[in-house]
Amino acid sequence: MSFARNKGEPADALVLFGMTGDLAHKKIFPALYGMARRGVLLTPVVGVASSKLTKRQLHSRIRQSIKEAGKPEDPAAMQTLLDRVTYVSGDYNDPEVFRHLKQALGDARRPVHYLAIPPSLFATVITGLAAAGMAEGGSVILEKPFGRDLTSAQHLNRIACAVFPEESIYRIDHFLGKEAIMNILYFRFANSFLEPIWNRNYIDSVQITLAESFGVEGRGAFYESAGCLRDVIQNHLFQVVGLLAMEPPAYRAYEAVQTEKTKIFRAMRQLEPDDLVRGQYKGYRKEAQVNPRSDVETYCALRLHVDSWRWEGVPWFLRSGKCMATTAAEVLVQFKAPPQKLFEDSFVAGERPNYIRFRLSPQAEVALAARVKRPGKQYVGDQEELLMLNEAADSDSPYERLLGDALAGDRSLFASQAAVEAAWTVLDRVLEDHHKVVQYEKGSWGPTQAVDLLGRHGPWHNPCCDGRDAEKAAI
């Protein structure tokens, strides 16, 4: 990312709380291995967890993690990672754990403390670090979700800010580390042709879809406490809205980008119950650790308004869900139809006018749809997509990129306290005051009631497996 970095001094150690947890196994170890392969893992890594592990057992877990992640074999990189890892076991409530951690850190004075643990333990660990004198000079990475609502987010921020200054707090959302997400910011402000049309005069609506073809996969207890609205929309999809809707930052730095995104969150109209459709895939209530009468949503679609000069009257439609027809994430920026029907086929019933499509996953793409005349005397044509970007196959993983940035003292891709709290404010009412969930079939595009949210702006754009067929069936 070319934005000037708001950098502190680089870290001299990484402390990983929750080293034996699922997040470390699936994401963090592979990211550290990737950094070792690129020769940028330069700090010691000290793991902390309650499990008692021998060095051999710890190394075995790390090797298994890398194997399951499908990473290329690189014996030298693996040895580099293993050589840098040490481990401290014990209860986070026990001050002795922090004393042993301090000993393991040795001469390190600028450690990054990664809290890859349940949010309920954040306060325990942060206060333990402060009591042991390990907060001064250090920084902390908080894994999403940042609270469950506005009140809990404010409480969490008070705890963190009582020990660490804001510039030393890294609120990590791996979605922001994706190449495709970073490209939205670049595409918007590196191309002058967009600015005259990137407003209410030319844009009809915006749709953002994040679909997953799988279910909760053993995470029933977590999903019962979170749900789709908290787990995906408040953080992932709101961040995408922020990047698409924000005004140009005044200068190239973290603070300028965060300021403009926060303005968008503050301009979002607070959601009402009728702005949402909440769904639940059939069979969810039979998942392990799920209430058999659960009203938790595994799908959510909503209609959002940004009450600003640029976006007044332009609806934003967001949806995400599990057990849907495919696994993909896309943005469709829908332009208005030409004001005059000069050619008979300039607007075909059932076909969208021009649009820009951002494919966010499984690969990154940017595509522009425009009508092109067919050869011959007749003034008839077809709408074709001009594909402008493909993600490089060897690009860094989001966690690899974000971990590297945190260790380097670069906050560019991390969320600010003000942005987090502003986003929660938009949802605060509907987190509790909402309609009951509607059941939907596995493998579908969610409840049919979600179509009603779009009105004349429908139908939903359904991302397809190859990312090209922009017009395949609506719900």
Distances 238 to 181, 223, 261, 315 between C-alpha atoms, Å:
12, 19, 10, 14
Structure tokens at 335: 């332009």
Q: What φ, ψ does residue 399 adopt, rounded to 5°?
A: -65, -35
For residue 29, which of 6, 49, 5 has the smallest C-alpha distance? 49
Instruction: Record the pTM.
Output: 0.89
Q: What φ, ψ does residue 306 adopt, rounded to 5°?
A: -105, 110
Interval 158-179: pLDDT, tens = 999 999 999 999 998 877 777 7
Pick 33 or 376 by higher pLDDT.
Answer: 33
Interval 177-191: pLDDT, tens = 777 888 898 899 999
Amino acid 6: pLDDT: 43
Interval 287-345: pLDDT, tens = 999 999 999 999 999 999 999 999 999 999 999 999 999 999 999 999 998 887 777 77
Q: What would the mean pLDDT of 113-132 be, rounded to a whole number?
A: 92
Among candidate residues 25, 236, 434, 461, the one labeled active-site is 236
CA–CA separation, 45 vs 114, rounded Å?
A: 10
**Positive or negative, the Cα torsion across 140, 142, 148, 154?**
positive
Helix (H, G, I), strand (E, B) or coil at 7: strand
User: Domains in the chain, ordered, with CATH?
Assistant: 13-143 (3.40.50.720), 176-457 (3.30.360.10)
For residue 263, which of 311, 197, 206, 212 has the smallest C-alpha distance? 311
CA–CA separation, 72 vs 66, rounded Å?
A: 9
Pick 445 or 258 by higher pLDDT.
Answer: 445
Helix (H, G, I), strand (E, B) or coil at 95: helix
User: Would you place residue 414 in the very low, low, confident or very high pLDDT band (cuts 50, 70, 90)?
Assistant: confident
Please compute, for residue 466, the number of CA atoms within 13 A of its CA located in the half-sphere on the CB side: 5
Residue 45: pLDDT over 90: yes
Q: Is residue 236 annotated as part of the catalytic site, yes or no? A: yes
Amino acid 349: pLDDT: 65
Amino acid 146: pLDDT: 85
How many residues in the chain? 475
Interval 89-119: pLDDT, tens = 999 999 999 999 999 999 999 999 999 998 8
